[in-house]
Amino acid sequence: MRRYFGPFLRATWAGVLTASFLPFLFAVVILIGGLVTGEPTQALATIYVFVIALASITAVITGVSILIGVPISLVLRHTGRYTKGAHVLVGVILGFVAFPALIAVTGEQGSDASLLLLYAYSALVGGVTAESWWRNTIALVERSLKPT
């Protein structure tokens, strides 16, 4: 199992980088605006908020990958459907469903159609994470399935 630790970290990191791209862009714009207008406290607050968002994104992607992604990958492997397309499809569906599930668990009642864009972004992150996992593990899986 240790040989899958590196691929897991790379896949999770790919998902975290994808998910944190938009918050990073917003943080940079606010940070530059705060520095230009001479409000360093706003810039510092922006950095804190981005770090908290990055930690939250990392926790959610790692948790979903461990609790749902890896078991589904094992099911795909044991059913003979360990393909890139299957992984990406499952990742996109899981990413699309994970965001509304997280909103439901937190008790948010005011969800509306504007969140659909965030659902799509979450689906993209799920697809990127799943594709990265498949790409980083396919050689290990093929090696383990070869008869000796």
pLDDT (0 to 100) of residue 127:
95
Q: Which residue has the higher pLDDT, 113 or 26?
A: 26
DSSP, collapsed to helix, strand or coil, labels residue 75 as helix
Q: How many helices (H) and strands (E) does the chain have?
A: 6, 0
What distance in Å separates the CA atoms of residue 7 and residue 13, rounded to the nearest whole number? Answer: 10
What distance in Å separates the CA atoms of residue 83 and residue 64, rounded to the nearest whole number? Answer: 20
The yes-or-no verdict on residue 33 having pLDDT over 90 is no
> How does pLDDT run across 66-98, given as a tens digit for each residue?
999 999 999 999 998 999 999 999 999 999 988
- pTM for this predicted structure: 0.84
